[in-house]
């Protein structure tokens, strides 16, 4: 398989701060990939390393089969990169900026340009094909979005009495909460056969169990809340 982006044990340290820690990332050609995570997770550092704006402390990275430190004009002409700290003149509209940039790219596509990127997770869910979650410099997961939304479920277990939490609580059950006779948690490895079996084994006498699919926003919120780091 050919990859548009590939990193191997990519790390970046700023003094005592480990901004990126052994990132292994592969983005297939043709993928629409969303790299998300909280502020300070290492997303901007990753992009700057890929574009050779920064040099890695260790590891390697390449874009379109070319090592980032060897990117030339002809390579950059087919790569679109928008830095987070770009300052536009007050008088320049977004449409005018696109017209200004167009001559720099021989293969410019107006249709794609006007569709560009988004910070809104609801928007991302409608068009991305792959997604990765970066947290504190580490990649928690990277996969096709269809697989991601299939394996996450919000679970509600109704019991006949005040619930007792299982001693052997699985690591893939995150964000657990309980009130009265109800237990809530997020299953990160949902399987239509094994998950109900595991729940019945740990919650003997459960009256009702419900599984609710989750939006991309809800999944990332749950992962960010989880202290286990499991996803």
The encoded tokens of residue 127 equal 């068009």
State pTM to two decimals.
0.79
Report the C-alpha gap between 153 and 209 in whole angstroms: 12
Report the C-alpha gap between 135 and 38 in whole angstroms: 7
What pLDDT does 82 receive? 78
**Inter-residue contact 65 to 14 (CB < 8 Å):** no
Average pLDDT estimate for 12-40: 94
Furthest CA-CA distance within the chain: 69
Helix, strand, or coil (residue 95): helix
**Mind listing the pLDDT tens digit for each residue in 49-82?**
999 999 999 999 999 999 999 999 889 888 888 7
What pLDDT does 91 receive? 86
Report the C-alpha gap between 25 and 22 in whole angstroms: 10
Report the C-alpha gap between 97 and 87 in whole angstroms: 11
Strand 208-213: give its sheet, edge to edge.
173-179, 182-187, 153-158, 208-213
Report the C-alpha gap between 213 and 187 in whole angstroms: 10
What pLDDT does 41 receive? 92
Please indicate whether residue 229 or residue 170 has the higher confidence score (pLDDT): 170
**Residue entry with tokens 């502020």:** 39
C-alpha distances out from residue 38 to 26, 43, 202, 223, 225, Å: 21, 9, 33, 10, 11
Report the C-alpha gap between 128 and 118 in whole angstroms: 10
Please indicate whether residue 11 or residue 125 has the higher confidence score (pLDDT): 11
What pLDDT does 228 receive? 47
Does position 8 have pLDDT exceeding 90, yes or no? yes
**Mind listing the pLDDT tens digit for each residue in 84-134?**
777 778 888 878 888 888 888 888 888 877 777 655 666 777 788 999 999
Residue among 161, 125, 157 at smallest CA distance from 144: 125
What pLDDT does 45 receive? 95
Does position 36 have pLDDT exceeding 80, yes or no? yes
């Amino acid at each position: 398989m050919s990859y548009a982006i590939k990193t191997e044990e990519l790390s970046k340290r700023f003094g005592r701060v480990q901004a990126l820690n052994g990132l292994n990332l592969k983005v297939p050609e043709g993928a629409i990939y969303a790299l998300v995570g909280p502020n300070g997770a290492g997303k901007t550092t990753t992009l700057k390393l890929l574009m050779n704006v920064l040099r890695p402390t260790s590891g390697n990275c390449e874009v379109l089969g070319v090592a980032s430190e060897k990117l030339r004009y002809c390579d950059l002409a087919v790569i679109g990169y928008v830095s987070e700290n770009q300052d536009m003149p007050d008088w320049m509209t977004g449409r005018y900026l696109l017209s200004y940039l167009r001559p720099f790219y021989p293969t410019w596509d107006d249709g794609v340009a006007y569709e560009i990127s988004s910070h809104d997770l609801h928007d991302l869910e409608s068009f991305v094909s792959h997604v990765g979650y970066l947290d504190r410099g580490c990649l928690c997961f990277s996969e096709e979005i269809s697989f991601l939304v299939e394996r996450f479920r919000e679970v509600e277990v109704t019991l006949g009495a005040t619930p007792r939490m299982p001693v052997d609580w699985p690591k893939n059950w995150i964000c657990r909460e309980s009130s009265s006779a109800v237990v809530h948690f997020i299953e990160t490895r949902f399987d239509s056969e094994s998950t109900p079996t595991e729940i019945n084994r740990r919650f003997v006498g459960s009256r009702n169990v419900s599984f609710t699919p989750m939006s991309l926003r809800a999944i990332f919120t749950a992962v960010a809340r989880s202290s286990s780091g499991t996803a």
